[in-house]
Structure 1
């Protein structure tokens, strides 16, 4: 009987030991599983953040690209608008300068006394549209020796000179008259280039106009104005 009790107690001890070992193994498994789960979760979170950052960077680059494209387009539109504003057609209230081919031009003696010479040069708009003759015409006087002498501008400010079809503008040449008969100038023609034009017309020096005192550098041309 004594042997039986000892054996039973020994069996109980073995069973208890096995029970404790089993419990310890379960806890270890739980900890390991928990750690793996936490690591997986951390890895997933990090991957998600990296993906989010990458996506955010992509959006930012895309936004910058769009902004750059808009800026470039805006510049092109501005240039196109500037090109249209500077067009040579009648746009937005602006008119082109009168073309030489559309102007009937003549010259006449307009001196009011024997001391001050004046020649009026009239330009009539024979075109079909309104044009501008504002400014100074280019003027050269041709002499009998076939030289052409440019005439200097007088001290005067140009006035707005807009010509409707049929309207006239006039500008003047002014000089002192030489009554001695010893003038060194012998003008034959007046070469006129309307304001902002490149085509020139040749007009005869008006018959009866007084001789020029001094040199051609003493003659002055004044800006255009309307006759109304």
Structure 2
């Protein structure tokens, strides 16, 4: 009987040990599975976080690129528009070149208003094919019979805008006092005219009907151009 009880107890002990081992194995497996599951679930989470980070980074870069692209496009477009407008202005006549001497028909005539006030009008007709500017003072020298050339000083007057379309006329004048004594020392023969902002000069005959100059050539003054309209 004692042998039987001992055997039964031993069998129970082995069974219990086996049960404990199995339980431990199950618990370990569960723990391992749980850890693995946790690790697996955390791995996608981390991956998602990284992916999100990349997405944000890419988005930021894309945003910056888009922003930069937008600014560049607007700036470039604005510059292009500005150029177009400026070009349009120039084409519309915002900028007019100065009249060239070969394109002007220039003449001098006596225009004295009375017997004491001498005045010579010098007209310039635009015979070119484009609009040009004759604004300002012309350069004037008076050539004397003794072959000397005398520069004429400017009168106190402000230049007026003088734009000439083809066929338009500009005029400027020389003013002086007429000598009525018959003792004038000036014997002018020619008027040398250089249009405003030009370097080419034309020589005009001194008008035969013009009165004698009182004093010296330094007493003659030239006034700025203006249109006849």
TM-score class, shorter-chain normalisation, is 0.7 to 0.9
Shift of 1:151: 2.9
Q: 1:112 to 1:3 in 2, by over 3 A?
A: closer
- Structure 2: 5+ residue runs without aligned partners? none
Structure 1 position 157, deviation (Å):
4.8
1:170-227 alpha-carbon deviations (Å, 9 max, x no partner): 3211111233344444322211123343322111222242232333333222233444
1:62 aligns with 65
Q: Secondary structure at the match of 1:192?
A: strand
Specify whether residues 225 and 2 from structure 1 end up closer, same or farther in structure 2 by C-alpha distance, changes over 3 A only. closer
Q: Which residue of 1 aligns with 2:102?
A: 101
Partner of residue 15, structure 1: 18
- CA 1:164 to 1:5, structure 2 compared with 1: closer, same or farther past 3 Å? closer
Cα RMSD of the aligned pairs, angstroms, is 3.2
Normalising by structure 1, report the TM-score.
0.77
Structure 1 distance, partners of 2:49, 2:129, is 79
* CA distance in 1 between partners of 2:28 and 2:106 (Å): 119
* Structure 1 residues 154-165: aligned runs within 5 Å: 154-158=156-160, 160=162, 162-165=164-167
Query: CA 1:20 to 1:156, structure 2 compared with 1: closer, same or farther past 3 Å?
Result: closer
Following the alignment from structure 2 to structure 1, what is the Cα–Cα distance between the partners of residues 115 and 86? 53
Equivalent in 134, 138, 147 of residue 149 of structure 2: 147
- Compute the TM-score of the two structures, normalised by the length of structure 2: 0.76
1:2 is the counterpart of 2:5: yes
Deviation of 1:49 after TM superposition, in Å, equals 2.5
State the SS of the aligned residue for 1:82: helix
Partner of 1:92: 92
Q: How does 1:203-214 map to 2 (within 5 A)?
A: 203-214=204-215
Deviation at 1:48, TM superposition (A): 0.4
1:163–1:51: structure 2 CA closer, same or farther, 3 Å change rule? Answer: closer
Report if the CA contact (8 A) 1:141-1:151 is conserved. no
Paired residues in the alignment total 223
Give the superposition deviation at 1:84: 5.8
- Whether the 8 Å CA contact 2:99–2:134 is kept in 1: the answer is yes
Counterpart position of 1:191: 192
1:78 equivalent to 2:82? Answer: yes
Give me the whole-angstrom Cα distance separating, in 1, the residues matched to 2:141 and 2:171: 17
Deviates more, 1:106-115 or 1:1-10: 1-10
More off after superposition, 101-110 vs 60-69: 60-69
* Alignment deviations for residues 62-115 of structure 1 (CA, whole Å, 9 cap, x no partner): 3355246433564366346535644xxxx4256654432233222122223232
